[in-house]
A = this chain, B = another copy of it.
Amino acid sequence: MNKEAVINQNGKEKAIILLSGGLDSCVTLAIAKDMGYEVYPVHINYNHLTMKRELTAYNDICNFYNIDENKRLIVDISYLSDIGGSALTDRNIKLETNSIPQSTDKLPSSYVPFRNANMISIAVSYAEVIKASKVFIGAVDEDSSGYPDCRKIFFERFNSLLEIALGDNYQVEILTPIIDNNKSEIVKLGMKLSAPLNLTWSCYQGEEESCGVCESCFLRLQGFSRAGETDPIKYAQK
């Protein structure tokens, strides 16, 4: 199968970026731009606790990079909230705080069942229509919450699916440029690329101020600390 021409008039290949508005996805966008791609950021709302704040972060980051409105795509999949099963979408399920899971047998309550497959499928549908050659996702394997759909093998198998799943001589590949990095490396990379880390949002439960204690804040603060940097956003407590 020959790849269809996906080079734009400006000589750049198109890439979809899954951009939640968090630290990892912001740095991933910065990497894609640094690699020379014309970026199409996709934001996915699944009626999660901090969806309004994350949407603001998404738009702030897109504005920072002067990304045209018609290249942005905001998608609602609140059905994930209807289906439930996660502390991120069900206010009756408690979030872990001040820790990250240590066991691979027990997933954290923040796990959203098969979420990344839903998100990547959307990104690939969009990619196929605009003939983007890459889908970037800021998944992190090692220094993460242990979600099964953030592991390297997950993306390898998804790419194996993509090799045969699409039509008409078209191919797309998922890229995970920070999957092997730890949080402090991601912070350093973001600063090196002048990514607007001050505009990002990582907290799982706060929308006014970051709580500083949920597992996402915990990992982020630890990353800045280990990088010897100060996190530019405000916290209710650290």
Q: Give chain A's interface residues, CB within 8 Å of chain B.
A: 73, 75-77, 79-80, 82-85, 105-107, 111-115, 117-118, 121-122, 124-126, 128-129, 147-149, 151, 153-154, 157-158, 160-161, 163-169
Contact = CB atoms under 8 A, between A and B. Distances in A.
Nearest to A117: B121
B122 A168 contact: no
A112 B126 CA distance: 11
Contact of A161 (B117, B129, B169): B117
A166 B157 CA distance: 13
A50 to B, nearest CB: 20
14 contacts: A75-B82, A83-B125, A106-B168, A107-B167, A107-B168, A113-B166, A114-B128, A115-B125, A117-B117, A118-B122, A121-B121, A148-B164, A151-B164, A161-B161
A153 B148 CA distance: 23
Contacts of A115: 125
Contact of A157 (B79, B164, B167): B164
Most chain B CB within a 10 A radius of its CB, from A111, A118, A163, A165 = A165
Most chain B CB within a 10 A radius of its CB, from A122, A151, A153, A167 = A167
